[in-house]
Structure 1
Amino acid sequence: MPSVARIRNVVIDCPDPRALADFYARVGGGTPRSEDDDWVVLQIPEGPRLAFQRVEGLTPPEWPRADSNAQQFHLDFDAGATWEEFDAAHEKVLALGARPLDLEDREKKDFQVYADPAGHPFCLCRIENPEGLE
């Protein structure tokens, strides 16, 4: 089916666009580019273009919840095919300011859920099939 348009950005509301863009640049790569104090764009190499938009008084989503303050979306990051690679990624995102939200049963789920410094959920995923999707 032909598309009407291409996705330009995944836009993330946050109180400090530069700080959150810097966090995700350190997680996924790329260099943040400021258009002004309220809008920062990050092109993840071989990945999506993320835009960070200032929202004063933002109430971060809570994970997991099903009511009006539930997560609206989240980002998944490939953290490698081995547990050693995954554990190294885990330590790095914690050092960058991420906060774990769910560290239980990782062997069963092959992912762990974290909050970024602004409170948005994201996952590190262990990819058993790094060449393609399952």
Structure 2
Amino acid sequence: MIGRIDEVVFDCADPAALAAFWAQVLGGEAAGRDEDWWYLDPPGWTRVAFQRVPEGKAVKNRVHLDVEVSDIAAATSEAEALGATRVGDLHADTAGSFQVLLDLEGNEWCVVKPA
């Protein structure tokens, strides 16, 4: 083993807004180290951080978060009320169900309910 994950970092244009959004999704309190670096410590998980970068998002994420929920429809509605955007239809297979969403800056993530 080389090490352990210290935090998951999102490049973004508005770190404070994304930290506030994700704090409402995952729990924890949004906190700023400075205007270019915000983070939250979701209960039971590693730190999620947001760093300001000059370039915008150009392509699909190569890594995304799956957020386990008990009710996908309700979680999707709550996320949309926070500013998330639904992408496509609900997906279901033998492993469970998931809905793809975009956060405030277009980062893909999913609400999932295992089978």
Q: Same fold (TM over 0.5)?
A: yes
The equivalent residue for 2:63 is 73
Bigger strand share: 2
The equivalent residue for 2:86 is 100
Secondary structure at the aligned position of 2:32 is classed as strand
Secondary structure at the aligned position of 1:89 is classed as helix
Secondary structure at the aligned position of 1:35 is classed as strand
CA contact (8 A) 2:72 2:111 kept: yes
Residue-pair matches, total: 113
The equivalent residue for 1:47 is 45
How far did residue 23 of structure 1 move?
0.5
TM-score if structure 1 supplies the norm length? 0.78
Structure 1 segments, 4+ long, off by >4 Å, are none
Q: Distance between the aligned counterparts of 1:31 and 1:4, measured in 2? A: 30
Q: Does 1:91 align with 2:89?
A: no
Note the residue ranges of structure 2 that are not aligned, 5 or more in a row.
none
Q: Distance between the aligned counterparts of 2:108 and 2:13, measured in 1? A: 15
Q: Distance between the aligned counterparts of 1:15 and 1:72, measured in 2? A: 18
The equivalent residue for 1:125 is 112
Q: Does 1:113 align with 2:103?
A: no
Q: Distance between the aligned counterparts of 2:36 and 2:104, measured in 1? A: 17
**Larger Rg belongs to:** 1
Q: Distance between the aligned counterparts of 1:31 and 1:97, measured in 2? A: 18
The residue correspondences of 1:51-62 to structure 2 (distance < 5 A) are: 51-58=49-56, 60-61=57-58
RMSD, aligned α-carbons: 1.4
Note the residue ranges of structure 1 that are not aligned, 5 or more in a row.
62-68, 129-134
TM-score if structure 2 supplies the norm length? 0.90
How far did residue 86 of structure 1 move?
1.9
Q: Distance between the aligned counterparts of 2:34 and 2:41, measured in 1? A: 16
Q: Distance between the aligned counterparts of 1:94 and 1:70, measured in 2? A: 20
Q: Distance between the aligned counterparts of 1:75 and 1:45, measured in 2? A: 15
The equivalent residue for 1:65 is none
